[in-house]
Amino acid sequence: MLPKVIRIRFAKRGRLKFISHLDLCRTLQSAMIRAGLPLWYTEGFNPHPRIAVALPLPVGCESECELLDVRVTELPNLELTVKKLNEATVPELEILEAYEPVTKFSDIGFAQYEITLELPFSEDLAELFSGPVIVAKHTKRGDVDTDIFPMVKSISFAPKGSGTFCRALLFASPESYLNPEYIVRAIEKQRGLDQYAFEYSVCRTGILDKSGKNFR
């Protein structure tokens, strides 16, 4: 019997931001078992469910729009699935929607982020992103100075209380993906501050396809 796929949209909030992608997958898997989802298991020596998350979220980042595909042996009642999953997990990991997907994760092009910085707003922030922005990017070969500007689709800054609010649309396809943390690194560098010198929060608020439309 061919497995069916259901797509689950969920939020990852608060302290859950510190849970890594792999740990989140294990957490979701046990939650799906607790919720009694008819999970499809791989054949073979070590059967396991097939779960795929659209854009693994960096540690430290919250999200209102995570997407996960899971294979099931039969299609369950989707509304009931959302309810049961929410009973089987913590409020900070909220299941928002379950549906049969018509798109592929490879169609994703961009991700939208909201970044709140406990740093006074100043005009030069916008100037920072008007040309090449060099930050030390972690790679397998160590930290490499990289220009992140080509991976920023759009970015804006505004004062918010005593701090600064930033909205950024970043490339998020397998060919070109920018971790939103690098926006913060660039700002730290501009201000001459140490890493983790001030509080900030990053939240992914939207996933868009390659034409810039909301991805479902």
Partner 1 sequence: MYPSSLLRSVEKPGRYTGGEYGQVIKQKDGVVARVAFCFPDIYEIGMSNLGVRILYGLLNEMEDVWCERAFAPWVDMEAEMRKRGIRLSTLESGDELSVFDFVAFTLQYELSYTNVLNMLNLAGLPLTSAERGDFALGSTPIVIGGGPCAYNAEPVADFFDLLLIGEGEEALPELVRLYIDMKKSGAKKSEFLREAAKLEGWYVPSLYEVEYNADGTIAAVTPKEGAPAKIKKRIVTDLDKAYFPEKFVMPYIETVHDRIMLEVFRGCIRGCRFCQAGMIYRPVREKSPELLDKQARKLFENTGYNEISLSSLSISDYTCLRELTEQLLSWTEAHKINLSLPSLRADSFNDELMARISSVRSSGLTFAPEAGTPRLRDAINKNITEEEILSACRTAFAAGKNSVKLYFMIGLPTETYEDLDGIAELTQKAVDEYYRTPGRPKGRDVTVTISVASFVPKPFTPFQWCAQDTIDTLREKQAYLAEKLKHNRKVRYNWHEAKVSFLEAVFARGNRRLSKALIEANRRGVRFDSWDELFDYEAWMDIFKTVGIDTAFYANREIGKDEVMPWDIFDIGVSKSFLRREYERAMRSEPSKNCREGCLGCGANRLGGERTCCPRL
Q: Which residues are near partner 1 by CB under 8 A? A: 14-20, 23-24, 26-27, 29-34, 41, 45-48, 59-60, 88-90, 92, 195-201
* Nearer to partner 1 among residue 113 and residue 215 (C-beta): 113
Q: Most distant CA pair in the chain: distance in Å?
A: 60
Q: Which residues fall within 8 angstroms of residue 196, CB to CB, at 6 or more apart?
A: none
CB of 79 to partner 1, least distance (A): 21
* Nearer to partner 1 among residue 35 and residue 170 (C-beta): 35
Q: Which residues fall within 8 angstroms of residue 149, CB to CB, at 6 or more apart?
A: 129, 131, 132, 133
CB of 49 to partner 1, least distance (A): 9
Question: Residue 176 in contact with residue 170, Cβ under 8 Å?
Answer: no
CB of 46 to partner 1, least distance (A): 6
* Nearer to partner 1 among residue 29 and residue 190 (C-beta): 29
CB of 137 to partner 1, least distance (A): 17
Is the dihedral angle over the CA atoms 101, 55, 47, 88 positive or is it negative?
Answer: negative
Paired sense of beta strands 51-53 and 61-72, if any: antiparallel
* Nearer to partner 1 among residue 123 and residue 196 (C-beta): 196
* Nearer to partner 1 among residue 26 and residue 160 (C-beta): 26
Q: Is 10 helix (H, G, I), strand (E, B) or coil?
A: strand
Q: What does the block give as tokens for 216?
A: 């479902």
CB of 203 to partner 1, least distance (A): 12
Residue type present at position 147: D
